[in-house]
Structure 1
Amino acid sequence: MKIELAPKRDTKKIIAFCSFIVLLGYAGFALSSKATKDVSASQLRFQTVKQSHLDIYTTAYGELSSAKERLLTAPAQGKVSEILVRPGTKILPETVILTLANPRLEQEVNAAKGQLAQQLAQREAFKFEQQSERLNYQGRIADIEADIERAELELSVNEDLLNLGVSSKIELQRAKLSVKQESKKLEFEKKKFDQFVEMQSYQLTQRDITIEQQQAQVALLEQQLDDMKVKAGISGSLQNLSVELGQSVQLGQSLAKVGSDEALIARLRLPQNQADQIDINAPVIIDTQKGYIKAHINRIESVVSNGTVLAEAILDDALTSNARPALSISAQVFVKHQQNTLHIEQTPGLRPRSKQAIFVRNANNQLQQKQVTFGELSKGQLTITDGLISGDELVTSDINKLLSYQKLNIVD
């Protein structure tokens, strides 16, 4: 029977290899945890932590926009026959932007004018007809009044003759009856005349109403025809033109948009995480690259889009020379007032709302590594929420390559 023996392990080699690994790890540990390293003072820049009351502002971006905007629409169906102004041109309220042509509308205006002229002529003719009727009534009344005078004269004569015994009583009664009949006839005729005058007044009123309606129709059509010369309506500039020459448009179709140049507002996109901390009327400082404009928040929308909330600010100062609609701007928007806040000036490498390893000068004139938590950035001032106290001097120069050391010695 053949017995195979396992090969004898090289114990010395294994021990040597393990020792090497241990030494290598220790060397790495010693290197990484080395207590100190020298650094030249000329390479270092320091900044002292301050503590004071601080207004917190957030940075927002946006653009200037017209405070007054007007959408120009087609007053009637037509075709663009002339374009007089292109986008970007300064305009006045009476500036004609474009002209629309509509032959049918012109025919309607002429037809309405003709109908109005006809109604006016008919009214004048009606007035003459009614005047003639009044004269006829007045003539009949005059005849009746003359008959009454004759009857009264005959009655008077018969009374005198009866006193003399010449006339009979029946003649006197007949004369009295004649006066009475003519008087009633006169009263009836006058009532008819009064009713005729009243009826004529109503008829004239009805004709006047019809004429007024036709005049309003003519004015409406004439206004539509005049509106075919599309005017700006406000001072400012033409912002957008939606049609081309020769294009047919329908009633109410959008033609162009005009906006004010002098009356402007700012539309700002606020960071979502700070929008709910900003109040209406919060102060705003707008930077147009050619100066600053003070403003205040007037409106904040509730809809979040791409991490921002749209807000509107009213300008309180005079405009800078380059201010115009659609100008890109940046702004500092007031968020809140913080008391006894630790802060420093922001320098490259220091990030808001972050926790970073920073070297701080200690009492032994060494640099001690600390974990520092930064808060909000406000107008170049970076707040500190944890890790430092007022008066601490922290290194602001770039020595990140030395972050493997916990302490650094400052040497001249």
Structure 2
Amino acid sequence: MDKQREGISARKRRNRLLYVAVSIVVVSGVTYAVSRLENAAPRVDLNTVWVDTVRRGPMVREVRGIGKLVPREVRWIPANTIGRVERIVVLPGSAVEPDDIIVEMSNSVLVQDAENAVWQLKGREADLINLKVQLEGNLLQLMSGLAQIEAAYKQAQLEAEINEELYADGLVADLTLKLSRVRAEELETRLDIERRRLSFQEGAMEPQIAAMEADVEQFRAQANLLKKQVASLHVRAGASGVLQRMSVEEGQQITLGESIFQVVDPSDLKAVIRVPETQARDVQIGQSATVDTRNGVVVGEVTRVDPNVENGTVAVDIHLDGELPRGSRPNLTVEGRIELENLADVLFVGRPAFGRESATVAVFRFEPGGDEAVRTSVLFGRMSVSEIEVVEGLQPGDRIILSDTSNWDDYERLVVN
């Protein structure tokens, strides 16, 4: 039987513990050393980045927006009556004059009502003529009766005067004198009554005729209204210009007041651009602007700033001065620039892709005379379309990278060659 050697197992355990301790120390040292090393600066091709130089001088602060040319006045032509579209005479894009018929409609009920109104008017006009004839006849009868009574009264008055003279000479009896006086007084009373009747008849004629004439005018107005509605079944342009849009189709039933088509003046246009709401707070009415139609640039002036925000933008109207470039038409896409202010002497640079107004941003600044760019914190101020004010962090002549450098956020330096 072999004899177990003493101490071998203990030595093996000590050696394993020693190896583990040494390994831990080595790994820790290596980890610490690696952590102390800086990341190697990546190399960037100069042709792939946008570089600009900081400079001092005047800077025009502008805002930019995309929009369209729109007519200054848009005329929607509505339907003045209900009807069915029978024919569209003129198509959008055509030049039109005020009396040009654009759409023809039909309404048989309206046409019949208009004819009935005309006949009712004629009947009322005949009634008016008949009333005037009747009143005039009644007046003549009264005048004739008045003349007869007046003649009889004068005759009775003359007889009474003669009888008085004869009675004084004793040639007629007292009864005869009294009867002649009574007859004269009776005829005088009848004469007064007839005069009053004649005066009353003359006064009553005017209101009767006026009432009938008002009735006739009411029927005439109704007939004229229906006549105009029948005429409006032929819908006319109503203004000179270009037929911009047609909102109906043949066979469609149209309601009263429904918009049928749109007429615009293509020579009288304005630009409506949309400006980011963050920049619109500085836009004011009266500021100078330029509008690029892609076929020329037109100078203009801000005339309206929409108080509402839509999809993060604000609509701004620009009145265009002078002649529009060739090819300008409604709904043409344009680019507008509005001059907010002219800064006389400021430090500025091209606007970085990630630059924000009144914010501190890290940019890569080139070392003087070298090809290395170092991350530098810069405080920017007021911003324009393509330039931004430098408040602190850069000096005139410094060159910085304006392109997006988010791929190198983990590096403090870049080698640009």
TM-score with structure 1 setting the length: 0.82
The answer (yes or no) to whether the contact 2:41–2:413 under 8 Å persists in 1 is no
Give the 3-state SS of the residue equivalent to 1:303 in structure 2. Answer: coil
The answer (yes or no) to whether the contact 1:358–1:372 under 8 Å persists in 2 is no
Deviations 1:114-143 (A, max 9, x none): 000111111111111111111110110110
Change (3 A) 1:351 1:31: closer
Query: Cα distance, 1:78 vs. partner?
Result: 1.7
Map of 2:55 onto structure 1: 49
* Cα separation, 2, equivalents of 1:201 and 1:120: 16
| 1:112 to 2:130 alignment | no
Aligned sequence identity (%): 23
Structure 2 unaligned segments of length 5 or more: list them.
none
Letter of the aligned partner of 1:264 in structure 2? L
Map of 1:272 onto structure 2: 277
Change (3 A) 1:51 1:167: same
Letter of the aligned partner of 2:216 in structure 1? I
Query: Cα distance, 1:256 vs. partner?
Result: 2.3
Query: Cα distance, 1:76 vs. partner?
Result: 2.4
Q: Quick one: which of 320, 326, 331 aligns to 2:331?
A: 326
Query: Cα distance, 1:276 vs. partner?
Result: 2.1
* Cα separation, 1, equivalents of 2:286 and 2:52: 38
Query: Cα distance, 1:216 vs. partner?
Result: 0.7
Query: Cα distance, 1:215 vs. partner?
Result: 0.8
The answer (yes or no) to whether the contact 1:101–1:228 under 8 Å persists in 2 is yes
1:133-148 to 2 correspondences below 5 Å: 133-148=138-153
Query: Cα distance, 1:368 vs. partner?
Result: 6.6
* Cα separation, 1, equivalents of 2:50 and 2:122: 96
* Cα separation, 2, equivalents of 1:90 and 1:80: 21
Map of 1:250 onto structure 2: 255
Q: Quick one: which of 71, 80, 93 aligns to 1:75?
A: 80
Map of 1:29 onto structure 2: 38
The answer (yes or no) to whether the contact 2:274–2:315 under 8 Å persists in 1 is yes
Q: Quick one: which of 276, 280, 290 aligns to 2:295?
A: 290
Q: Quick one: which of 175, 179, 183 aligns to 2:180?
A: 175
Letter of the aligned partner of 1:49 in structure 2? R
Number of corresponding residues? 398
* Cα separation, 1, equivalents of 2:313 and 2:26: 63
Q: Quick one: which of 383, 386, 389 aligns to 1:383?
A: 389
Map of 2:136 onto structure 1: 131
Deviates more, 1:286-295 or 1:314-323: 314-323
Change (3 A) 1:68 1:32: closer
Deviations 1:343-375 (A, max 9, x none): 2356xx65542734243564x788773444445
Structure 1 unaligned segments of length 5 or more: list them.
none
The answer (yes or no) to whether the contact 2:54–2:347 under 8 Å persists in 1 is no
Letter of the aligned partner of 2:389 in structure 1? T
* Cα separation, 2, equivalents of 1:79 and 1:365: 80
Query: Cα distance, 1:12 vs. partner?
Result: 7.5
Deviates more, 1:226-235 or 1:1-10: 1-10
CA RMSD across the alignment = 3.7
TM-score with structure 2 setting the length: 0.81
* Cα separation, 2, equivalents of 1:44 and 1:204: 93
Q: Quick one: which of 106, 126, 130 aligns to 1:121?
A: 126
Q: Quick one: which of 233, 241, 254 aligns to 2:246?
A: 241
